[in-house]
Amino acid sequence: MLRIGMLTSGGDCQALNAAMRGVVKCVYNNAKDSVEFYGFEDGYKGLIYSKFHMLTGADFSGILTRGGTILGTSRVPFKTIREPDENGLDKVAAMKQNYYKLQLDCLVMLGGNGSHKTAALLKEEGLNVITLPKTIDNDLWGTDMTFGFQSAVDIATEAIDCIHTTANSHGRVFIVEIMGHKVGWLPLNAGMAGGADIILIPEIPYDINKVIDKIEERDARGSRFTILAVAEGAISKEDAKLSKKDYEKKLETYTFPSVSYELADSIAKKTGKEIRVTVPGHMQRGGSPCPYDRVFASRLGAEAGKLILNGQYGYMVGYKNREMIKVPLEKVAGKLKTVDPNSDIIEEAKLLGISFGD
């Protein structure tokens, strides 16, 4: 008998269900023994507080195309994982206890950066853990691609496409704010796919004067509009120079809802132009996974299933240089995969005339 626990952790994304279905199908179809799957509800919370249910084949039927996660998810911050909860419960001890109580052979965790730190900790504590790289941000170290990313690129691109037509009609400057947390993969790719004129990402701090130069250059050429794809984590050159403490102090008195509104305000003041801000927000994480993500997540699921069947634990399944790989969890945990400002894609974007405000 093979007993497998499964949970989805952190912000959701498209293809979480497709990935879990992949694991389950692979194991069911190829295991020599009988198999039981247990789904922990709402991420690590389910493992801590023993909230789980047994999963049957029916749970995985028809979910390849379904967004969200059939298990629910939540954020359980890693930085307080060693601290007792409000009732004095030792969260790490509780997770171990519930794992052993269910006599699990393995825990499958689908998560992003923070969730991988907890997964590595559980491995260190002696549990058999296998993880799959989930996030629209594509910022997980050790894999070229995370599932959810391509679906989010599609949605963010669609948003920029829609803005294009109205920006053209009105001759306005439009800012589309794109998710991605502290990295620029999503705004960079959606920005390029949507034909944005200016792309601002956290890895390349911007100079507001360079942003305005680009808008004025387009005006001088007779372009009726300018579109900026701005990462939610975009940062100005001045702010990037501040110490962490000084930057946090600045944020205490920050009155704009986000960096895009601050930019809009600066551009309007300096140019007298009419600016509009669009924030697609969580739409980027919602809805059905795109075909790429359905295939990719299914493949990752199958690879994870293979590791389980071979009794190889302690890895994240990833994708590097067009090959499926396994990366030890301790190597993944705590590292961020950022956009290299000197990479080919940035150089090519600049050759196409896209400004990064630098």
Rank residues 104 and 160 by Cβ distance to ligand F6P and give the closer one.
Answer: 160
Report which secondary-structure segment, H or E, holds 296.
helix 291-309
Question: What minimum distance in Å lies between the beta carbon of 148 and ligand F6P?
Answer: 8
Q: Of 59, 137, 154, 197, which is the active-site residue?
A: 137
Is 137 annotated in the active site? yes
Report the amino acid identity of residue 160: I
Rank residues 135 and 150 by Cβ distance to ligand F6P and give the closer one.
Answer: 135
**Of 129, 131, 130, the residue nearest 140 (C-alpha):** 131
Rank residues 91 and 181 by Cβ distance to ligand F6P and give the closer one.
Answer: 181
- Distances in Å between the Cα of 299 and the Cα atoms of 24, 119, 259 are 12, 21, 37
Question: What minimum distance in Å lies between the beta carbon of 99 and ligand F6P?
Answer: 26
Rank residues 258 and 288 by Cβ distance to ligand F6P and give the closer one.
Answer: 258
**Of 260, 182, 176, 190, the residue nearest 225 (C-alpha):** 176
Question: What minimum distance in Å lies between the beta carbon of 190 and ligand F6P?
Answer: 12
- Distances in Å between the Cα of 220 and the Cα atoms of 170, 215, 224, 270 are 17, 9, 10, 16
Question: What minimum distance in Å lies between the beta carbon of 183 and ligand F6P?
Answer: 9
321: left (phi over 0), alpha (psi -120 to 50) or beta: left
Rank residues 43 and 305 by Cβ distance to ligand F6P and give the closer one.
Answer: 43
Rank residues 113 and 355 by Cβ distance to ligand F6P and give the closer one.
Answer: 113
**Of 159, 220, 170, the residue nearest 195 (C-alpha):** 159
**Residue with the closest Cβ to ligand F6P?**
179
The owner of tokens 């293809």 is 15
Alpha carbon 10 to its chain centroid, in Å, reads: 9
The burial of 237, by beta-carbon neighbours within 10 Å (0-12 exposed, 13-18 middle, 19 or more buried), is given as middle
CB atoms within 10 A of CB 322: 6
Residues at the contact surface with ligand F6P, assessed by CB under 6 A:
11, 112, 135-137, 179-181, 232, 285
Q: Which residues are catalytic?
A: 137
